[in-house]
Amino acid sequence: ALKAVQDMSWSTLSSPPLTRHSKTIPVQAFEVKLDVNLADLTKIGKSQKHSLSVDVEGGRLVVMKRLKDNQEDWNTFTHHRIRQLIKSQRVQNKLGIVFEKEKEKSQRKDFIFTSAKKREAFCQLLQLMKNKHSNQDEPDMISIFIGTWNMGSVPSPKAVGSWLLCRGLGKTLDEMTVTIPHDLYVFGTQENSVCDREWVDSLRTALKEHTELDYKPIAVQTLWNIKIAVLVKPEHENRISHVGVSSVKTGIANTLGNKGAVGVSFMFNGTSFGFVNCHLTSGNEKIGRKEFDPLLKVDQLNLEREKNKVFLRFAEEEISYPPTYRYERGSRDTYVWQKQKATGVRCTDDMVTSDHSPVFGTFEVGVTSQFVSKK
């Protein structure tokens, strides 16, 4: 540990001379405890006392562990090996730090500070260090693909490129831009009988075929055959934190999961996201079907939204494509019978295994960095 502090001091002395108005920031040390579960206690021993020393000027963090007989063990992490800070929302003085290990692998360690104030001071110093030394630009805008599809309890076709590449009816993207991979892909499906692992693997395979990238799954949540899956570009994997999932049953007596909703939430750097996939019961016993002549004007979901019963403060893109349900399977020329369309932005017209067509939308969303931007 003494050698680590000496190295810090030497790097400060050997740095370029400072101007009259500049000030050096001294090395700051924080006493913490490593937060571990019972299973890890046998591996690391009983002592979890650590010291975190932040050298802003030298661009490094020393993690020192106190051992028996006043012995110490320490590791030095340069600024570019500190990948992510994850503030606990339940425990105000707890902080997770993701370190880059060898071969681009990462490791997370959770530390308990003496107070929430100390945790915030530590985070501010790390932000200052990253801002001072890092040349890596953090994204301030990301693109998101959101797709929804009632699969009709039939496995999807192997060719789903039109869905992923946003080709079909409605407002479609320019051919020059459809091949640009999105940062996030969110897939909501209904009547999806495929098991979670097989479904996610098929999505990753399809994405890799069209983007040549190995997308990483963030979360999958299932309620019966209602699913939501979120995948992220590999370069953003360490920008994701605070992943949460939930589901709500709205079937008979609110006990059956054949109808309901599943949701996923997470943080992308400093910005929170939430996605909900619903499979709701159609119709309303208090409204006569005879009122539903022009489908779009009397869309059941829109009427419920206007009454502030569902999706409060949500905005919907203009519908510029024909109804996506209900078709004869294997065709997109014949409707079985007229019914309200599914909400969305655009739809495909060549995936015909289900009596519904997949719907998709693309969005650009501004995000904030957990570290101070140099821009």
Which pLDDT tens digit goes with each residue over 44-75? 455 588 999 999 999 999 999 877 766 677 89
Q: Which helix (H) or strand (E) holds 117?
A: helix 116-133
Mean pLDDT of 362-370: 85
Residue 277 has pLDDT above 80, yes or no: yes
**Rounded Cα distance, 51 and 89, in Å:** 23
Task: Identify the band that residue 241 occupies on the pLDDT scale cut at 50, 70 and 90.
Answer: very high
**Rounded Cα distance, 148 and 227, in Å:** 10
Mean pLDDT of 270-274: 92
**Contact by Cβ (8 Å): 53, 8:** yes
Q: Which two tokens stand for residue 226?
A: 């209602």
- Give the Cβ contact number of residue 125 at 10 Å: 19
**Contact by Cβ (8 Å): 344, 362:** no
Residue 145: C-alpha distances to residues 36, 230, 275, 352, 353 (Å):
37, 10, 12, 21, 22
Task: Identify the band that residue 168 occupies on the pLDDT scale cut at 50, 70 and 90.
Answer: low
The pLDDT of residue 15: 45
Q: Are strands 169-170 and 141-150 parallel, antiparallel or unpaired?
A: unpaired
Task: Identify the band that residue 227 occupies on the pLDDT scale cut at 50, 70 and 90.
Answer: very high
Q: What is the pLDDT of residues 119-135, one digit of tens each?
A: 999 999 998 998 888 88
Q: What is the pLDDT of residues 182-193, one digit of tens each?
A: 999 999 999 999
The pLDDT of residue 30: 97
Does residue 237 sit in helix, strand or coil? Answer: helix
The pLDDT of residue 173: 61
The pLDDT of residue 12: 44
Domain residue spans in the chain? 2-133, 141-366
Mean pLDDT of 130-156: 87
Q: What is the pLDDT of residues 314-365, one digit of tens each?
A: 777 776 656 656 555 555 554 333 332 333 356 666 666 676 778 888 888 9
CATH of the structural domain 141-366, one choice from 3.60.10.10, 3.40.228.10, 1.10.150.120, 3.30.70.100: 3.60.10.10
The pLDDT of residue 18: 46
Count of CA atoms in the C-beta half-sphere (13 A) of 259: 8
The pLDDT of residue 116: 95
- Give the Cβ contact number of residue 23 at 10 Å: 7
Give me the torsion for CA of 366, 369, 370, 372, rounded to 10°: -140
Task: Identify the band that residue 115 occupies on the pLDDT scale cut at 50, 70 and 90.
Answer: very high
Mean pLDDT of 202-215: 94
Mean pLDDT of 27-35: 95
**Rounded Cα distance, 266 and 325, in Å:** 32
Task: Identify the band that residue 219 occupies on the pLDDT scale cut at 50, 70 and 90.
Answer: very high
Fold of 2-133: PH-domain like (2.30.29)
The pLDDT of residue 69: 67
Angle (CA) 68-74-79 rounded to 5° is 155
Mean pLDDT of 252-277: 90
**Rounded Cα distance, 321 and 342, in Å:** 10
Q: Which helix (H) or strand (E) holds 52?
A: strand 49-55
Q: Which two tokens stand for residue 25?
A: 């920031």
Task: Identify the band that residue 22 occupies on the pLDDT scale cut at 50, 70 and 90.
Answer: low
> Beta partners for 29?
53
The amino acid occupying position 328 is E
* 2-133 and 141-366, same CATH topology: no
**Contact by Cβ (8 Å): 107, 63:** no
Does residue 183 sit in helix, strand or coil? Answer: coil
Task: Identify the band that residue 164 occupies on the pLDDT scale cut at 50, 70 and 90.
Answer: confident
Task: Identify the band that residue 312 occupies on the pLDDT scale cut at 50, 70 and 90.
Answer: confident
φ, ψ (nearest 5 deg) of residue 250: -130, 20
Percentage above 70 pLDDT, the chain: 71
